[in-house]
Amino acid sequence: MNERRSTVRVDATTADGARRLGAAELGAEPGERATLVQFSSAFCQPCRATRRILAEVAGLVPGVAHVEIDAEARLPLVRELGIARTPTVLVLDASGAEVRRAAGMPRKADVIAALGAVL
């Protein structure tokens, strides 16, 4: 039996080697100014609170999108990006480059501060 393996290709990298994620990898359109990407799993209690925090921040800041990715359903992407636990939040700039990463439930103030560094 010939088994095909699916690999995930990240769109591109920046000059300093930072990854860029686009709509194809995210499964949704990124924000115009920044994107908050949340990797979650079904039974992760902190993921629910993280979802609320990120959705609230994205609603407050124009041009910022919140995209939640089911880590179990997207294992090739999780492996490609080195996601080790849920929730993990990536902050992407307007070009889709990862500029910040945090594992665990973030504080709202920390998310706003991370966005401030991007915007």
37-47 pLDDT per residue, tens: 999 999 999 99
Which of 92, 81, 103, 118 shows the shortest CA–CA distance to 29? 92
Q: What's residue 49's pLDDT?
A: 97
CA distances from residue 31 to 23, 46, 55, 85 in whole angstroms, order as listed: 10, 24, 12, 24
Q: What's residue 18's pLDDT?
A: 60
Q: What's residue 33's pLDDT?
A: 97
At 10, the pLDDT band (50, 70, 90 cuts) reads very low
Residue type, 22: G
Tokens 């949704």, located at residue: 28
Average pLDDT over residues 80-94: 97
**Is residue 16 situated within a structural domain?**
no
At 13, the pLDDT band (50, 70, 90 cuts) reads low
In this predicted model, which residue has the larger pLDDT, 13 or 48?
Answer: 48
Q: What is the CA radius of gyration of the chain?
A: 14
19-37 pLDDT per residue, tens: 799 999 999 999 999 999 9
**Is residue 56 situated within a structural domain?**
yes
Residue type, 88: T
Coil, strand, or helix at residue 8? coil
Residue numbers of the domain that contains 44 = 33-118
In the predicted structure, residue 111 carries a pLDDT above the cut 70: yes
Q: CA-CA-CA-CA torsion for 113, 10, 40, 109, nearest 10 degrees?
A: 0
Q: State how far the Cα of 76 lies from the Cα of 114, in Å rounded to an integer.
A: 26
**Is residue 17 situated within a structural domain?**
no
CATH number at residue 103: 3.40.30.10
Helix 45-60 and helix 108-118: axis angle, to 10°?
Answer: 50
Instruction: Report the number of distinct structural domains present in the chain.
Output: 1
